[in-house]
Amino acid sequence: MTDYKKISMDGLWNNNPATVQILGLCPLLAVSGSVVNAMGLGLATMLVLAGSNFAVSLIRHFVTPAVRLPAFVMIIAALVTVIEMLMQALTFELYEILGIFIPLIVTNCAVLGRADAFASKNAPLPAVLDGLMMGAGFLFVLLLLGAMREALGQGTLFSNMQLLFGPMAENWQITLIADYRGFLLAILPPGAFIGLGLIIAGKNVIDKRLKDAAKRREAAEPKTSRRVRTTGTVT
């Protein structure tokens, strides 16, 4: 019996590729300068993860362990090429902005890692779910980082969303602070490292709070049976 809830929670929170496994940092740090970049690359990575997990799971009985890694990489590379061409066709400007980081999804350790650690040992349905949830966890962190850096760096949120969603997103931009001078550090690479560090720290704080709360609840619960003293006298 596969535990779908556990797979989902692992991908989104407990074993999040970005904050717990610390995988795929290169795209995570390089293209998280704005929400639209983060969302473009996050969605692409999520699709590749789900697709590669599905394909790897289908062929898991026919590939011998000795040649599994080249086979997985071929599958991932093929999928990334498909996604790259799709983005070139549908969202050309975003494709140009993200540039080398779209083909570099092939080298995202999270993709190969899930293919080898999960998809090659599980049935297609859980494998797809795992890919989707891992991808969603990655997308979530990318979006958070992108929003933090865009808000701090430019004083806006959701600028240029039309690159991804077409003309209907022209006026989605929220200007947080008018005449903002810009905080270059947030846009530059150090801002990405500091931002990711703060996100990981935040996640650890939340985990600790949850753990402490659970412990307190356990301690506060009245014991159902009381031990009866059987020897000696109570004074």
Partner 1 sequence: MSLITVTSPHTTGQRNHTGAFMRQVIYATIPGVAVLTWLFGWGTLFNLIIAVPAALIAEAAVLKARGRDVRFALSDWSAVLTAVLLAIAIPPTSPWWLIVIGIVAAIVVAKQLYGGLGMNPFNPAMVGYVVLLISFPLEMTRWIAPHEAPSWFDSFRMVLASANVDAITGATPLDSLRTWAGNAEQLASQPILHGSFAGAGWEWVNLAFLLGGIYLLARKIISWHIPVGMLAGMALIALPFWLADDVRYASPLFHLFSGAAMFGAFFIATDPVSAATSRYGRLIYGALIGVLVWVIRSNGGYPDAVAFAVLLMNMAAPTIDYYTQPRSYGHRKAKRGASR
Q: Report if residue 181 touches partner 1, rule: CB under 8 A.
A: yes
Tokens of 195: 């931002």
Question: Which span (68-76, 137-145, 186-194, 206-214) binds partner 1, by CB under 8 A?
Answer: 186-194
Q: Report if residue 226 touches partner 1, rule: CB under 8 A.
A: no
Q: Report if residue 180 touches partner 1, rule: CB under 8 A.
A: no
Candidate list 188, 205, 210, 213; residue touching partner 1; CB under 8 A: 188
For the CB of residue 177, give the shortest distance to partner 1 in the complex, in Å. 12
For the CB of residue 229, give the shortest distance to partner 1 in the complex, in Å. 40
For residue 30, which phi and psi values (nearest 5 degrees)?
Answer: -80, -35
In contact, 159 and 147? CB cutoff 8 Å: no
Q: Which is nearer to partner 1, 85 or 185 (CB)?
A: 185
CA 119, 121, 125, 126 torsion-angle sign: negative
- How many residues at the interface with partner 1, by CB under 8 A? 8
Q: Report if residue 183 touches partner 1, rule: CB under 8 A.
A: yes
b/e per residue 45-84 (b: at least 16 CB within 10 A): bbbbbbbbbbbbbeebeebeeeebeebbbebbbebbeebb
Q: Which is nearer to partner 1, 174 or 184 (CB)?
A: 184
Question: Which span (30-38, 84-92, 187-195, 220-228) binds partner 1, by CB under 8 A?
Answer: 187-195
Distance of CA 42 to the CA centre of its chain: 7
Secondary structure (3-state) at 230: coil
Q: Is 201 exposed, middle or buried (0-12, 13-18, 19+ CB in 10 A)?
A: exposed
Q: Report if residue 200 touches partner 1, rule: CB under 8 A.
A: no
- Residues lying near partner 1 in the complex (CB under 8 A) are found at 181, 183-186, 188, 190, 194
